[in-house]
Structure 1
Amino acid sequence: MDVSECMRTKLVLAKPDCDYKRLLCKIADSVPRLAYVVDDNYKLLGIVSAVDLLKVILPSYMSVGLARSFSDGTEFLQKQVERVKDKRAEDIMVKKFSFLHPHHQLLKADAMIAEKGFNTLPVIDEKGKLLGEITRLDILVNLVNNCSDYNVDDAGLVDLSLL
């Protein structure tokens, strides 16, 4: 099966000049927590993840021990966000990224995801236009949908509070 048959097409997009706070708000409700930075023709320029946004606000010297010493970590984080609020997507985005094409097979997608250590890869056409994304969950759901010869009750959730 081709990637195009199970990729997600509803994605969070951002322009290169999108500011930090707007990026933060854009990915807050998305799963996976990624924003794809595109130009006016939807050519993929870069990717901003939640991890990338956190790297920008957390000082390199921050350790677990130091973080424990803050009485109000939320206030510290809010101050850090204010400090970097003018950073733009083009300043934060990862510009070198792995990708798939829509005609690639799911097996290749899963192998690339595992090899690269990402849970999500963008799907682009030959000109670099963003078409969608594929996640390990999408691949798993596709496999599950092909398990029609099993009784769903046999594989369902067990409510442990009833035991």
Structure 2
Amino acid sequence: MDVSTCMRKTVVLAEPDCDFVCLLHKIAAPTPRLAYIVDENRTLIGVVSARDLLKEVMPSYMNAHLARSISDGADYLKRQAEKARHRCARDIMVKKVISLHPHHQLLQADAIFAERGFNTLPVVDEHNKIVGEITRVDILVHLIGDPFTYDFDGVVELTE
């Protein structure tokens, strides 16, 4: 089965000069998203993830023990984000992007997910223009069919 059978065709695009705050807004969706950095021809030149943005905010020396000692954690993060405002996609993006083509097999996508620890991969055409993305969840949904036809015992909404 080809990647094209279950890839998502709605993706988040950004230009290389897209600023940090704009990238935050683009990625801050209910489901984690990647921002695909493209040139004027929609050719993929990089990727920015939520992890990449957080690395811009979090100092490299910060660990969980040190973070516990900071009493104003939320304010600290806001101050750090303010310092990152001048950064843009060009500065933050990962340039060595692993991508798939629509004709690649789902098994190949799943193997890359397992080997590299990715959850999402861009799908590009023969000219490296982005045409979609595929996620681990997309493959799982494809395997089980329509998830809305299944009775999910044990799924509860936690209110507290």
Query: What is the TM-score of this pair, normalised by structure 1?
Result: 0.89
1:33 aligns with 2:29: no
Partner of 1:143: 143
Structure 2 match to 1:46: 46
Task: Spell out, residue by residue over 1:16-38, the C-alpha distance to the aligned partner (whole angstroms, 9 max, x if none).
Answer: 00000110111001533211001
Please say which structure displays the higher CA radius of gyration: 1
1:158 pairs with 2:158? no
- Partner Cα separation in structure 2 for residue 84 and residue 65 of structure 1: 23
Total equivalences in the alignment = 156
CA RMSD, Structure 1 to Structure 2 (Å)? 1.9
Corresponding letter in the other structure for 2:25: C
Superposition pairs for residues 70-85 of structure 1, below 5 Å? 70-85=70-85
Structure 1: unaligned runs, 5 residues or longer: none
Distance 1:7 1:159, change over 3 A: closer
Report the Cα offset of residue 146 of structure 1.
7.9
Q: Deviations over 1:42-71 (max 9, x none)?
A: 100100000000111111111212211211
CA distance in 1, matches of 2:5, 2:92: 31
- Secondary structure in 2 aligned to 1:7? coil
Taking every aligned residue pair, what percent have the same amino acid on both sides? 58
In the alignment, which residue of structure 2 is the partner of 1:96? 96
Equivalent positions of 1:119-138 (< 5 A) are 119-138=119-138
Moved more, 107-116 or 124-133: 107-116
Which runs of 5 or more residues in structure 2 are unaligned? none
